[in-house]
Chains A and B, each alone.
Chain A
Amino acid sequence: MTTLKAVEVEDVEIRLLLEGLQQIYGYDFRDYADASIKRRLTQWLAESPFATFSEAQSRLLRDPETFVSLLQGITVNVTEMFRDPSFFRTLREQVVPFLKTYPFVKIWHAGCASGEEAYSMAILLNEEGMAGRYRMYATDIDESVLAKAAEGVMPITEMQKYTRNYQKAGGARSFADYYTARYDRAILSPSLKKDIVFAPHNLATDAEFGEMNMVLCRNVMIYFKPALKERCLKLFDNSLLPGGFLCLGLKETLERRKMGERYDELVPGSRIYRKRYGQ
């Protein structure tokens, strides 16, 4: 008499689970874009000993360790050094000249994953003569990925690609000078780390950071529903000084957003936006 629609049951289970996680752990994933989070959650479930989310739920709500494994399944930590070289080239050529006019600049990498973006920025700023004149705050929701970021150790197999990215981004030195090869790992030079602070921060629930000259949040908000995106943009807006820069991923834009009226895109398509003065 009563028929079950298998797929809808799963959607309901997911909704209940996310609600529970929010109440117990304070991590709020309810406003993540549903297709993507569902894919991540189903992948986690397939590799777990549980058959359904309802079955997993009782453990997830009681056992923090199981929750941490889910958290790592949900977050997508994919990143690379000088990802989108053209973006970093524009930073070097068009943004750094503005930054240089300040005695000291503060930069926030929101959703920094394992730190490659922040380290790329450190290389760039040091090469442009700004060593010692900046501090970076690199934050992420995922503490295990932050621990990795703070280590500054990468698989040596990535270095060929990163070297190419670096050169395409306008880097003219020897990229090999920035790391020491040790077996299958590349250990980044300590000079790149010393002005970066890695810290946990949840864009869905935490507050802004003050007085930033630049905020980078690339390939993070694509996972969020419009309401959560809006929250993030407000956070960044409150963090940025007038004349400061907001950098988004290449497929993210301020175009259809209210806040867009108070920002100008530096170069069309660059996704580097400058906050107007007097706002």
Chain B
Amino acid sequence: MASKRRFQAVVIGVSSGGVQALKKLLGGLPADFPLPVLIVQHISPEAGSGMAKLLDDLCAIRVKEADEQDRLEPATVYLAPPNYHLLVERGGVLALSADPPVSYARPSVDVLFETAAGVYRRGLIGMVLTGANWDGARGVQFVKQKGGVVIVQHPADADTPQMPQAALAAVEADYVVPLAEMPELLRQLAEARAAARGSEAGLHG
């Protein structure tokens, strides 16, 4: 089943406890991870742009702060900047907005997930990690509606379980796993895509 699907992007929402969680998750991804990864982490609007740099130094995969009109590339992690929503445009281009906060959050996980689901549909993997609110619960509904896959951090494994719990209350997640298993799971899902591509190429060749 999974081998028929071709994933095109991963979106991640994370709030309190996020720095440690992202270090572990992104630290486990290879430098040539075949998909773009988009992240909304709730941070103070006054936080600088140091987070992307910090993660980039620690991880094999490239991490950058998202800029408007960035064209999404594989093997790259895009972190939403403080105080802006991060959105995906048709054709896989990033946009930022200064719209009001959604569920008190800007950037908002829901906004990223909704717009990414509209563009990638079945090709989207949406992940909700540790956090103290319910941002992302609407978001995973959009992901499921469009046929994407939802992965939620096991609440017992989360530094702060509310956000995973809210996501699990909103949809039936495809995977509920501890953080430590996520890099391997993502790799498998992403490779299934590569395999599907290969067999498709075979068909046409």
Contacts and interface: CB of A to CB of B under 8 A. Distances in A.
Real complex partners, A and B?
A: yes
Interface of A: 7, 33-36, 38-40, 76, 78, 219, 222-223, 226, 249, 251-253, 256
Nearest to B106: A78
18 contacts: A7-B118, A7-B146, A33-B95, A35-B87, A35-B88, A35-B90, A35-B95, A36-B87, A36-B97, A39-B87, A76-B97, A222-B95, A222-B96, A222-B98, A226-B69, A251-B67, A251-B84, A253-B67
Given A7-B118, A35-B115, A251 B89 contact: no
A-B residue pairs, 3 tightest by C-beta: A35-B87, A35-B115, A219-B98
A207 B114 CA distance: 36
A35 B118 CA distance: 9
Given A7-B118, A35-B118, A256-B69, A251 B96 contact: yes
A78 B100 contact: yes
A249 B119 CA distance: 26
B114 A39 contact: yes
Contacts of B88: 35
A76 B98 contact: yes
A251 B81 CA distance: 8
Interface of B: 67-69, 81, 84, 87-90, 95-100, 111, 114-115, 118-119, 146
B97 A223 contact: yes
Contacts of A226: 69
Contacts of A253: 67
B96 A76 contact: no
A251 B68 contact: yes
Contacts of A36: 87, 95, 97, 99
B89 A35 contact: yes
A40 B84 CA distance: 16
A36 B93 CA distance: 12
A36 B68 CA distance: 12
A257 to B, nearest CB: 10
B90 A34 contact: yes
Nearest to B48: A86
Given A38-B118, A249-B98, A251-B81, 17 more contacts: A7-B118, A7-B146, A33-B95, A35-B87, A35-B115, A35-B119, A39-B115, A40-B99, A76-B98, A78-B98, A78-B99, A219-B98, A222-B84, A223-B97, A226-B69, A251-B96, A253-B67
Contacts of B119: 35
Contacts of A256: 69
Contacts of A7: 118, 146
Contact of B99 (A76, A249, A251, A252): A76
Nearest to A43: B99
A36 B115 CA distance: 8
B118 A252 contact: no
A7 B121 CA distance: 11
A33 B111 contact: no
